[in-house]
Amino acid sequence: MHAAPAAAACYREDGKVTQTQLIIVIIIAVVVIAVVATLVALRLRKKRRIAAMGPEERELYDAERYYRVSVEKARKTLQATQQSWEQRVKDAEDSVKEARRIGYRPLGSLEKVDLFEDHLETPDGAFQLSGGPVSAIVETAEQLATTRQDVLSRAGKEVMRELMAQAGGEGSATHYLLIETPIFVTVRRLRDGDVVKARQFASSINNAAVSTDELARRREEAAAAAQAQLEQVKADMETAVQAANQELERVKANTGRLDAAREAYERIKGAAPAATNSMASMAPPTEDGPQPNEKGAL
């Protein structure tokens, strides 16, 4: 009987704040206020302590703070210098890798034939383009059967039979991609919608086959330049990091102000007990203490 009102007090579906939510908000607000008040009190306490310092103690406080800030700044500069140059070295290393990939990048793919700058991969085998003449053409079955029988014979009997069957029947207009290398011959049947793309692909194969020497020269030149740049970046990194490290050591060794402030503060601290002892010796004797006689002797 009493459960329903309690549930209603803790949960509302109309979007209004429930009693539980209100309590949580109040608790959070109290905690935040307490934290802020504590921080403000600590800050005021620190300000009062600094304001109460004598000149020597204040100078020591400022000297210590200045020294800490200077060392931390120099240390962060060293870390930032190292990170910055490490990234530059990584970029230069990536440039070397990219230069060495010249001649090996993929140029295209069609009907399980993959063309790279330096070689060709087909279902019948792989071939380095620098290993000899390579040619690629796109022709119909009838054209190939008429003009390329000597080449087709190298592709195998099954390929030869298929082409002859296509050339003598309704498939005479079916297009094929023919790739000839000194090692093997590849014949790939094309879909009607791929003929234009296949002609472009064949042109890419023929161009790549005559560009191997140029690619090798470009790769060597680019790799040499990238490697030289990498070595220069490493040398510059060493110089920059060494300079930042030397600056850190210089800042850490620059304790002149700090040492002087400590010495002055220690002198003041040493003088204070001496002054207290001197004033104590000048104090008049107490009534219970020894009294001089009439001749002035104890």
Mean pLDDT lowest among 33-42, 160-169, 216-225, 249-258: 160-169
Does 58 map to a domain? Answer: yes
Total domains, the chain: 3
Q: Is 2 helix (H, G, I), strand (E, B) or coil?
A: coil
Does 290 map to a domain? Answer: no
Residue 143 confidence (pLDDT) above 90:
no
Same-domain status, 140 and 128: yes
Same-domain status, 167 and 228: no
Same-domain status, 228 and 271: yes
Cβ neighbours for 117, distance < 8 A, ≥ 6 positions apart:
102, 103, 104, 105, 106, 107, 208, 211, 215
Does 79 map to a domain? Answer: yes
Same-domain status, 235 and 246: yes
Residue 3 confidence (pLDDT) above 60:
no
The pLDDT score that the predictor gives to residue 70 is 96
Does 111 map to a domain? Answer: no
Does 11 map to a domain? Answer: no
| Cβ burial, residue 122 (10 Å; 0-12/13-18/19+) | buried
Q: Which of 210, 233, 261 is the last residue in one of the domains?
A: 210
Q: How far apart are the first and last CA of the chain?
A: 98
User: Which of the two residues, 94 and 49, has the higher pLDDT score?
Assistant: 94
The pLDDT score that the predictor gives to residue 31 is 87
Does 187 map to a domain? Answer: yes
Does 241 map to a domain? Answer: yes
Residue 93 confidence (pLDDT) above 70:
yes
Same-domain status, 266 and 122: no
Average pLDDT score over residue span 110-139: 92
Domain that holds residue 26: 20-50
Does 14 map to a domain? Answer: no
Residue 293's pLDDT band, with cuts at 50, 70 and 90, is very low
